Chains A and B, each alone.
Chain A
């Protein structure tokens, strides 16, 4: 499988926040992450996009020193994750996929303990809790976490990860399972952290729109391998500006062949009963596509056109769509 690396490749002038060379992790015979090469510059929001089981969380766990690599090397904030684990841990904040909170503690106790784990003094802890108030529901901060909603837990988890002002913030699927309002709050705070504090943020997501809206660069991960990397726009441009999607009742291979003959169609992909065709100008291509399908005797149940999304990029690269699991 090819790896396309597009522009915004880190230059030597900007310090590297996260770097990995040939990172690999296996569990028995299962290869969770394979030959991962990464370079994330300081101040960047970098997103790992991929379906469940792609290896995103395993990669994050290795970079956070929580899991050791089977092979390869990695450094975070300039420290080797294998040999300088404590320095890495002092430099990072992490919110994993499942909010790792103790339901018997209150929100304030959770943050206070988190501050102590990072060596913060009492006064600094109180000040940080006030500073993190935008993420929290302060009227609930003295309630036990077990009474919090899922969204409140995720935001408390994020606040805990920020207690010590980390240089690099790892967010593993930070908005999975959140309601739209909570998701918007988290997105806004991620942008603010990056813009106001220059914090490097490494996030994993299975939401295309999240990667599109938040990240400066995206790495597309599939079956443990990085299959493409670039800005969202660059990745989309590799497919085309528009995608024509035909849902057909008959033979999709016949439909794909018919669409492929239409001038201006660059790639054709089949997924289920869908045939997707990339083109530089969807408006001009849709009528010839319809005519070609009709001429081939293909029964079309739906024919639509939409701007290229990262899902189309993923389909183009892997032949599959990202199935989002809440």
Chain B
């Protein structure tokens, strides 16, 4: 322990707190979250390995059938958006937020002058960065097995990654809402259950034309269908309608999920 000298500020001017402003608050929160990401690899690596594994296995299992069923379909490219979505859906800092709540760190943040909304948006900035990074190995594997963005080039690739990250960002509202409402890690993990209807009641594995009628009908109501179709359209060229519908679908999911999340934040702040 250091010698017990006084705690008198050495400088002539005593340091005093002052409001940082919303943007700086958000940067401070996201800085912490980003700094902690490499220290949380045990949570990130499995979430990355699962989509890589399923990408390879699904292509191996279904490609021949898909080629026979739908002529001209590049099933590897068809599956790449699914892998991105699997990687980013449900992957968020919500578990860290629950730990902050249970450890009292969230209370520490609430007792600082940080803007309340920056507490959540800062985490989402970190999530968005993580989603972009997580797309890299998935894309790399896609390239390795022969997927090409020849029709839209580098810009198409960037839009592809951006759509995946935006979907992930929109979806984060659900686990954050659960985290803030319950403060319970098990409940947050259960939010992954939402992933199944989103992912499986859609055109994730085959085109709508080869589905049974009831499943094909449901896919029309699933926003992820449109997100996937928008991303897939980038392998064929710039199709504004597909991209627009994808953005609308992602926006709709984001509106619902983020409304829940920010309402939960307000509730927790109010409850104290």
Contact = CB atoms under 8 A, between A and B. Distances in A.
Interface of A: 61, 64-68, 86, 89-92, 94, 96, 98-105, 109, 113-114, 116-120, 124, 127-128, 130-138, 160, 162, 164-166, 185, 188-189, 192-193, 196-197
Interface in B246-262: none
A275 to B, nearest CB: 42
Contacts of A196: 6-8
Given A105-B36, A119-B17, A119-B24, A66 B4 contact: no
B272 A133 contact: no
Given A68-B270, A104-B36, A113-B28, A89 B6 contact: no
A136 to B, nearest CB: 7
B6 A86 contact: no
Contacts of B1: 137, 185
A184 B110 CA distance: 30
Contacts of A89: 111-113
B114 to A, nearest CB: 5
A100 B107 contact: yes
Given A89-B111, A99-B104, A105-B32, 19 more contacts: A61-B272, A66-B107, A89-B113, A90-B113, A100-B103, A100-B107, A100-B108, A116-B24, A118-B18, A118-B20, A120-B17, A128-B9, A131-B8, A132-B7, A134-B6, A134-B7, A160-B108, A196-B6, A196-B8
Q: Which of B3, B19, B270 has the most CB of A within 10 A?
A: B19
B6 A165 contact: no
Given A90-B17, A131-B10, A185 B4 contact: yes
Contacts of A124: 15
A102 B100 contact: yes
24 contacts: A67-B272, A68-B270, A89-B111, A92-B111, A94-B108, A100-B104, A100-B105, A102-B100, A104-B36, A104-B39, A113-B32, A118-B18, A118-B112, A119-B18, A127-B15, A128-B15, A131-B8, A131-B9, A133-B2, A134-B2, A135-B7, A137-B1, A162-B7, A165-B14
Q: Which of B1, B3, B35, B39 has the most CB of A within 10 A?
A: B1
A117 B116 CA distance: 12
Contacts of B61: none
Interface in B24-70: 24-25, 28, 31-32, 35-36, 39-40
Contacts of A90: 17-19, 113
Nearest to B4: A134
Interface of B: 1-11, 14-20, 24-25, 28, 31-32, 35-36, 39-40, 100, 103-105, 107-114, 270-272
Contact of A189 (B7, B18, B20, B40): B7
B7 A65 contact: no
B9 A136 contact: no
Nearest to A89: B113
A118 B3 contact: no
A250 to B, nearest CB: 48
Contacts of B15: 120, 124, 127-128, 164-165
Contacts of A165: 9, 14-17
Contacts of A114: 112
A268 B19 CA distance: 55
A66 B272 contact: yes
A61 B112 CA distance: 13
B4 A102 contact: no
Contacts of A64: 111
